[in-house]
Amino acid sequence: MADFFTRSGPGRPGLALFVNAGDPPLDALPDLALALDEQGTDCLELAVPFPDSVTDGPVIRRSARRALERGTGLDEVLECLAGFRPRLRRLRVALLVDWSHSLKRRDHAAALGEIAAAGADGVLVHALPPRLRETHLAAAGHAGLPVVSTCYQNSPDRVRARAAADASGYLYLVAHYGRSGTAPAAGHGALAGTVAGLRSLTSSPIAVGFGVRTRQDVQAVAACGADAAVIGSAGVARIESALEEGRDPVRALGAFVRSVQPVRSLAPTPNRS
């Protein structure tokens, strides 16, 4: 099983970056992934773009639209991933795939096998119908593909317990119910009780996202007891600005990561597929 996150001390959680494959254009993705790897980012949450997500804010929806207009689909993303994954030293790749847009018309087990073969370290299926939960978990297990599960801070106890039980890669705790890019009113530190409760239900890492924009936000996530912070809209916005201004989006995202990442020693680790 992949080790998704490395905590190197108090206030220094792991870091995951969300990016829509195809935004920037897919031929820039290898350089982007390698740059994140070099900077010590733990995980790339790589989304196969899909339209009109009700949980995404305007920044990520615009990004997905640009990627879709470039013709980015699951096959293209897997081909690209297979090309650069062997070159990564520590960065893990969790592939986010929408069930309706990318998986509904495919054989589910075969598709997960293809995702694993391309080098993904884990999979998060967006909007998976509840009736397919057991089928999905069995197929992922057969493919040797760790599952990333999600729940909200205000999800019912039974939903949080199910998400904790399903998480074999990591558990993504969404900081509040709303659209991506928005932060919880009470701050990320107020999630400590929820994180502690989830910790008693799973041995998998717990990552917290939504509204994480600054180094202070990342440190607040660490203070609530989570293993990692997930940054989405704030990083995607830097890519968008760079594209609009004719700047290098890889360099722009790299500068943003340096601005939010707590300083920590980065000892190289062997590539474990």
pLDDT tens track for 170-222: 999 998 755 555 666 557 888 999 999 999 999 999 999 999 999 999 999 99
Q: Does some domain include residue 3?
A: no
Domain of 223, CATH number, reads 3.20.20.70
Tell me: pLDDT of 29 over 90: yes
**Is 152 part of any domain?**
yes
pLDDT at 261 over 90: no
Spot the catalytic one: 23, 37, 56, 98: 56
User: Per residue in 70-96, pLDDT tens?
Assistant: 999 999 999 999 999 999 999 999 999
Average pLDDT, the chain: 92
User: How many degrees, rounded to 5, is the angle at CA 206 between CA 201 and CA 210?
Assistant: 125
Instruction: Report DSSP state, residue 55.
Output: T
Query: Measuring CA to CA, which residue among 143, 129, 141, 200 is closest to residue 166?
Result: 141
Q: What is the dihedral of CA 18, 20, 23, 26, to 10 degrees?
A: 110
Structural domain range at position 231 = 14-260
Q: Does a structural domain hold residue 270?
A: no
pLDDT for the residue numbered 179: 56
pLDDT attached to residue 272: 45
Backbone phi, then psi, for 256, in 5-degree steps? -65, -45
Work out how many domains the chain is built from and give that number: 1
pLDDT > 90? residue 225: yes
CA angle 33/237/11 to nearest 5° reads 70
Domain membership of residue 151 (yes or no) is yes
- State the catalytic residue, choosing from 23, 37, 42, 45: 45
Is 5 contained in some domain? no
Strand partners, 18: 45
At 55, the pLDDT band (50, 70, 90 cuts) reads confident
Q: Does 4 map to a domain? A: no
* pLDDT reported for residue 266: 46
Instruction: Count CB neighbours of 124 within 10 A.
Output: 22
139 domain residue, yes or no: yes
pLDDT at 34 over 80: yes
Residue 7 has a pLDDT of: 62
Q: In the prediction, which pLDDT does 195 show?
A: 97
| Residue 228 scores a pLDDT above 80 | yes
**Annotated catalytic residue 56:** yes
Quote the percentage of the chain above a pLDDT of 70: 90
Q: Which residue has the higher pLDDT, 237 or 273?
A: 237
Q: Identify which has the larger pLDDT, 221 or 269.
A: 221
The CA distance from 223 to 95, in Å, is: 27
Beta bridge partners of 151: 173
Q: Is residue 6 part of a domain?
A: no
User: Which helix H or strand E contains 20, and what residues bound it?
Assistant: strand 14-20
What pLDDT score does 273 carry?
43
> In the chain, what is the greatest distance between 2 CA atoms, to the nearest angstrom?
48
pLDDT band at residue 1, thresholds of 50, 70 and 90? Answer: very low
Q: Between 107 and 186, whose confidence is greater?
A: 107
